Homo-oligomer: A and B are copies of this chain.
Amino acid sequence: MQFLSDNAAAVHPAVWRALHAADAPDSPYDGDAISRELDAAFTALFGRECAALWVATGTAANCLALSAMVPPHGGVVCHREAHIEVDEGGAPGFYLHGAKLMLAEGASAKLTPGSIAAVVDPIRDDVHQVQPHAISITQASEYGCVYQVSEIAEIAAYAQRRGLGLHMDGARFANAVAFLGCTPGEACNGVDALSFGFVKNGGMSAEAIVFFDTALADVVRYRRKRAGHLQSKGRFLAAQILAMLENDVWLHNGRAANAAAAEIAGAAAGRLLHPVQANEVFLKLTAGERAALRAHGFSFYDWGSQGARLVTSWNANPDHVAALASGIAAL
């Protein structure tokens, strides 16, 4: 009974069907008919003009998006525990040619205008200090917490005042929108570029970089090729993404994963390290309690010495979820 990572989950049947349908000769790279549908599909979804590019990983999506906003001598404000800082093997340093990540605080890995300002304001406006050029936020955050639409609006307003770009790492964007109950467009007000994740949510190997500032896409098209991310049979990536968008598969999957996490959280009152708003549950669990759960067949990661991280997937097995909830309640 696997709660290690949504990365490990299966591929959605609609994605499989789309992959097979795409297995006909067409132009290579992103010249095929499917890839050329992406801009329109995201424009329809978000209710404003978008340019969208497929890539294989969230790391590539995040770093390519940021590379169009930040010059090599600039900086990006992100949370101290942001994925781009902690878990991407230094990819921002590579893609941004040595630009600097500027680390801000915030509960549950969420930034606020205040925590951003605490990093930005002390920077002297001289050439001895790296100047910020963009902000990156993660929606849902690395602790499974969701920015409210109003919170993003406040950050976007701050970004605009300071002339900073705004990037959203949406590896779990689906879970966030499912939680918020708003439209995708509302969830991205003020955002310049979104890494829209599909792999954790039923896809196989395709993420989208969605540019609301479409001029950025013109740069990233070159950067994507230069990074070796322009796959020659790109139609297979585009097909995955369109399949996830069609009939709101992405949203249904996000809701399903969230519901599973909520069920577990409901059984863990008093143990929650963070509010459970998406598909991740961070619990206080002693080593003994973790061992007990594992003895019952549950697999998950430790979180420090006194905790655990449990991640639910779009196809979480209801029996497994119920069993885990019971198991936690019974500790």
- Which A residues contact B (CB, under 8 angstroms)? 2, 4-5, 7-11, 16, 19-20, 23-29, 55-61, 63-64, 71-73, 75, 86-100, 127-131, 199-200, 204-205, 219, 221-233, 236-237
Contact = CB atoms under 8 A, between A and B. Distances in A.
A209 B129 CA distance: 22
Chain B CB count within 10 A is highest, among A25, A86, A87, A219, for: A25
Contacts of A23: 10-11, 16
A256 to B, nearest CB: 16
Contacts of A56: 56, 205, 228-229, 231
A232 B72 contact: no
B57 A229 contact: yes
A226 B11 contact: no
A229 B228 contact: yes
Contacts of A71: 219
A24 to B, nearest CB: 7
Given A2-B25, A231-B56, A233-B205, A98 B87 contact: no
Contacts of A10: 23-25
Given A59-B228, A93-B100, A93-B226, 14 more contacts: A8-B27, A29-B128, A56-B229, A57-B228, A60-B228, A75-B90, A89-B128, A89-B222, A90-B98, A90-B100, A91-B225, A127-B230, A128-B225, A227-B227
Chain B CB count within 10 A is highest, among A7, A128, A130, A236, for: A128
- Which 5 A-B pairs give the minimum distances between C-beta atoms? A93-B98, A60-B228, A89-B225, A7-B28, A59-B228
Contacts of A4: 27-28
A156 to B, nearest CB: 26
Count copies of this chain in the complex. Answer: 4
Contacts of A127: 89, 221-222, 224-226, 230
Chain B CB count within 10 A is highest, among A28, A90, A204, A236, for: A90
19 contacts: A7-B232, A8-B25, A8-B26, A16-B20, A56-B56, A57-B228, A57-B230, A60-B228, A71-B219, A72-B72, A73-B89, A91-B225, A91-B226, A91-B227, A93-B99, A94-B226, A199-B233, A204-B233, A227-B228
B88 A225 contact: yes
Contacts of A88: 128, 225-226, 228
A91 B228 contact: yes
Given A25-B2, A200-B232, A205-B236, A90 B63 contact: no
Contacts of A237: 205
A94 B98 contact: yes
A5 B28 CA distance: 8
A227 B2 CA distance: 28
Given A25-B2, A71-B219, A236-B204, A226 B8 contact: no
A16 to B, nearest CB: 8
Nearest to A5: B28
A9 B96 CA distance: 35
A57 to B, nearest CB: 5
